[in-house]
């Protein structure tokens, strides 16, 4: 049994009753009705019922039974043979008795001997791979960011959240706030799963004109309720306390698919000034659909876009729709549709693509042909990218730092899921095309605690820097200018003393920047859960990499250097406990990859092929909150 979050001494004794076996610990009584249903009677409830979890177990049905039709069972993997960790199940305050019903868990499961009552739940970090400066939930599962909004000096980050285990399930909107996009304060979940279903992704807006009638500057949330019974339907809720709590609209849903579509989710709402209306873009299987509204409650279909566009095959998810100036010229504005797809990533699994074009209030017209794909990030672990609303001229995006191929199987237990660094988006032109850059927000500079300047040097075969950052816990930033010259390869390795390494190099012959994590540490995730396993290389892009891999984690990713200008490349590389994020030339190339080294990388070895190359203006920053 792993380290518990709490340490409670509870007495226990067994009772036998008429037709049911009962056991009691302190003021807990378990009434087993056969082998499929247990009723937990609680006298003088504490704040929490602490539930023991075993991730390999099947999901049980756990419900706080108040007698209301709104009571909703949660899917929780209660421990059958062994306890891995605990999660808190909140009980009603100020009551003398409470009842919790638990279905689909055997009467002889070990959970019944370990369920505990407590007024506290310890969220002190116990996980080696928890990032130092990236946002994570305190405990439980997190995937897509959603509902991002800025109001009254606070950035609100809502996210897909399971408070009852570190695997996907029980979708709530978790909630964190920040004043600087770096330091995050964790709040209670803002919107909970209910009888309409899981609370899937969506968006929020500040209703400055009181369009919905809930007050000027109310925050209005739009989300997908998802269930087998009701399908995927769009719902609304409103907040009058700066996004801390939400009241669900009594007439939900506000929008359902007109053609009975199964995959219809993730509403993104934005204000369209020329029409003086609100618009919603919704993912609809393999396209996006536009709707408009004057009151945020009644929505009229406008058009669809995307069938046959981008990489194929794909599943459109988590859209965003933003307007940006081209090359900083506000007289030349373009609309950008951000589309998250799964599957479809260049390297397998989930990723973010985008389309640049024009919008007339009715239809979006893309500037490029359907077969053209533009990627926002060229790594393996950058998905569900969406942008904050109400940030003025700045467009700031946040993504989930994982991949659906192995998200449930990372070597982590207390929590799963992290956000990549927030990124500021901009448009630039290159070779007659318009592309979108995604650079780490300037606020990340506040993470720099110590600076080590490195004299300019030429790499002649090998150049090594030992102890990158003294006393580091694996959190630092590398900044440098690399001029390959006539070198065919100009690169370096992040190393530890166990021989684990992350290789980053410019392959000038192939015209690529490459991140290779095949030897980065723990790379075979099959031991931690179910992942996609390949027996042989089948995709052309993998063949060109000439990298052997054990599964969909152990591989390399690459991006075309043709997106950049000049013969010198500016690199910012952010390293954290379990991630490496690469930004080339201000985000013209962004590449995000998870890594799981068993010790921090603290040696830097430069190497080259074909000729010498130069490294200049190099700084090493120790990062921390």
Those residues with Cβ within 8 angstroms of residue 131's Cβ, 6 or more apart along the chain or in another chain: 418, 475, 576, 577, 578, 579
Q: Report d(CA 295, CA 207) in Å as an integer.
A: 10
User: What are the distances in angstroms from CA 1 to CA 53, 79, 85, 439?
Assistant: 11, 11, 8, 43
What the block records as the tokens of 573 is 């590389």
Q: Report d(CA 556, CA 502) in Å as an integer.
A: 10
Please, what is the end-to-end C-alpha distance for the chain in angstroms?
A: 32
Those residues with Cβ within 8 angstroms of residue 348's Cβ, 6 or more apart along the chain or in another chain: 380, 403, 405, 532, 539, 552, 555
Say whether 144 is catalytic. yes
List the beta bridge partners of residue 462: 607
Q: Which residues of 50-74 are buried (b: 16+ CB within 10 A; e: fewer)?
A: bbbbbbebebbbbebeeeeeeeebb
List the beta bridge partners of residue 466: 603
- Is the bond into 313 cis (omega within 30 degrees of 0)? yes
Contact yes or no for 388/155 (Cβ under 8 A)? yes
Q: What is the DSSP string of 498-539?
A: TS-EEEEEEETTTTEEEEE-TTSS---GGGTS-----SS--S
Catalytic residue among 127, 144, 320, 507: 144
Q: Report d(CA 565, CA 351) in Å as an integer.
A: 25
Active site residues: 144
């Amino acid at each position: 049994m792993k380290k518990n979050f709490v340490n409670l001494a509870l007495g226990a004794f067994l009772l036998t009753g008429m037709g049911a076996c009962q056991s009691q610990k302190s003021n807990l009584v378990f009434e087993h009705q056969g082998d499929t249903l247990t009723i937990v009677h609680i006298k003088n409830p504490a704040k929490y019922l602490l539930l023991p979890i075993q991730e390999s177990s099947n999901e049980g049905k756990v419900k706080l039974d108040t007698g209301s039709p709104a009571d909703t069972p949660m899917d929780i993997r209660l421990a059958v043979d062994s306890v891995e960790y605990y999660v808190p199940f909140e009980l009603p305050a100020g009551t003398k008795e409470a009842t919790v019903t638990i279905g689909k868990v055997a009467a002889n499961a070990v959970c019944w001997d370990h369920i505990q009552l407590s007024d506290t739940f310890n969220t002190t970090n116990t996980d080696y791979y928890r990032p130092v400066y990236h946002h994570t939930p305190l405990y439980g599962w997190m995937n897509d960011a959603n509902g991002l909004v800025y109001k009254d000096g606070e950035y609100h980050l809502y996210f897909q959240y399971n408070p009852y285990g570190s695997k996907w399930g029980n979708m709530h909107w978790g909630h964190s706030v920040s004043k600087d996009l770096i330091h995050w304060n964790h709040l209670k979940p803002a919107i909970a799963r209910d009888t309409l279903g899981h609370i899937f992704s969506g968006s929020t807006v500040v209703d400055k004109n009181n369009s919905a009638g809930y007050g000027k500057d109310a925050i209005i949330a739009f989300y997908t309720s998802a269930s087998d019974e009701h399908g995927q339907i769009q719902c609304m809720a409103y907040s009058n306390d700066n996004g801390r709590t939400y009241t669900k609209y009594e007439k939900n849903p506000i929008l359902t698919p007109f053609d009975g579509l199964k995959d219809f989710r993730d509403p993104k709402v934005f204000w369209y000034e020329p029409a003086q209306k609100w618009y919603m873009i919704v993912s609809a299987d393999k396209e996006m659909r536009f709707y408009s509204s004057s009151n945020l409650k009644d929505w009229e279909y406008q058009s669809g876009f995307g069938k046959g566009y981008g990489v194929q095959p794909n599943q459109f998810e988590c859209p965003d729709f933003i307007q940006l100036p081209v090359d900083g010229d506000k007289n030349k504005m373009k609309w950008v549709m951000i589309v998250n797809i799964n599957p479809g990533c260049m390297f397998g699994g989930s990723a973010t693509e985008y389309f640049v074009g024009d919008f007339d209030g009715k239809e979006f017209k893309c500037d490029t042909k359907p077969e053209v794909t533009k990627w926002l990030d060229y790594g393996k672990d950058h998905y569900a990218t969406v942008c904050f609303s109400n940030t003025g001229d700045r467009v700031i995006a946040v993504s989930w730092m994982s991949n659906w191929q192995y998200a449930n199987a990372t070597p982590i237990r207390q929590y799963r899921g992290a956000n990549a660094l927030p990124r500021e988006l901009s448009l630039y032109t290159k070779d007659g095309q318009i592309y979108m850059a995604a650079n780490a927000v300037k606020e990340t500079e506040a993470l720099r605690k110590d600076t080590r300047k490195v004299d300019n040097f030429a790499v002649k075969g090998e150049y090594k820097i030992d102890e990158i950052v003294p006393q580091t816990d694996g959190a630092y930033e590398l900044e440098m200018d690399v001029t390959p010259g006539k070198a065919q390869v100009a690169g370096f390795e992040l190393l530890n003393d166990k021989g684990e390494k992350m290789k980053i190099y410019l392959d000038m012959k192939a015209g690529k920047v490459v991140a290779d994590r095949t030897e980065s540490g723990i790379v075979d995730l099959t031991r931690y859960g179910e992942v996609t396993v390949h027996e042989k290389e089948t995709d052309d892009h993998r063949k060109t990499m000439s990298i052997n891999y054990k599964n969909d984690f152990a591989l390399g990713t690459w991006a075309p250097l043709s997106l950049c200008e000049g013969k010198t490349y500016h690199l910012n590389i952010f390293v954290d406990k379990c991630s490496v994020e690469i930004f080339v030339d201000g985000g013209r190339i962004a590449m995000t990859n998870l890594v799981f080294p068993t010790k921090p990388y603290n040696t830097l070895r430069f190497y080259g092929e074909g000729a010498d190359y130069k490294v200049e203006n190099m700084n090493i920053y120790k990062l921390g909150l």
